[in-house]
Amino acid sequence: MKLIKKKMLYMAVVALAGAGMLVMGILRGNAQMSGVGSGMLAVAILKLFQYFRIMKDPDKVRQLEVVQNEERLVFLANKSAAITLYALIIIAYIAMLTLMFMGNTALSSGIAYAICAALIIYLIVHAILNKKY
């Protein structure tokens, strides 16, 4: 039950942020901002309804908790994230080189800085985790 309440709180924050963006978008006449805001709001409301329904059924709450904490699924999520990050860095590197050869140095430098930042973050996180475990 603790997990579902945490998820509901998170979705409530997303709904509030979405509503805020929607109102700001309408007031400023920014269609992109209102579009993103309405999307966030709609998803958050749908998820909140889903969690309210799950909360009424203890079996479904238990099932959700098992799926969320299940070690194989956590392992798969971690592995997928690691592979995705690796692919992202390679794609960014290729994009950086392509833009550099095309003469777009500003964008190329931006991507290069982003790659460097990601690698520095990786080294810092690795060092912290190495001490922790």
72 binds another protein (CB under 8 A): yes
Candidates 47, 77, 76, 51; CA nearest to 64 is 51
The structure tokens listed for 40 are 């966030």
Tokens of 83: 């592979």
- When asked if residue 67 is in the footprint of another protein (CB under 8 A), the reply is yes
Check residue 66 for interaction with another protein (CB under 8 A): yes
Using the minimum distance from each CB to another protein, give the nearer residue, 57 or 70. 70
Alpha carbon 73 to its chain centroid, in Å, reads 17
For another protein, the closer CB: 69 or 105: 69
Q: Which of 71, 64, 72, 73 has its CA nearest to residue 3?
A: 64
Among 2, 32, 56, 71, binds another protein (CB under 8 A): 71
Residues that bind another protein (CB under 8 A): 66-67, 69-73, 75
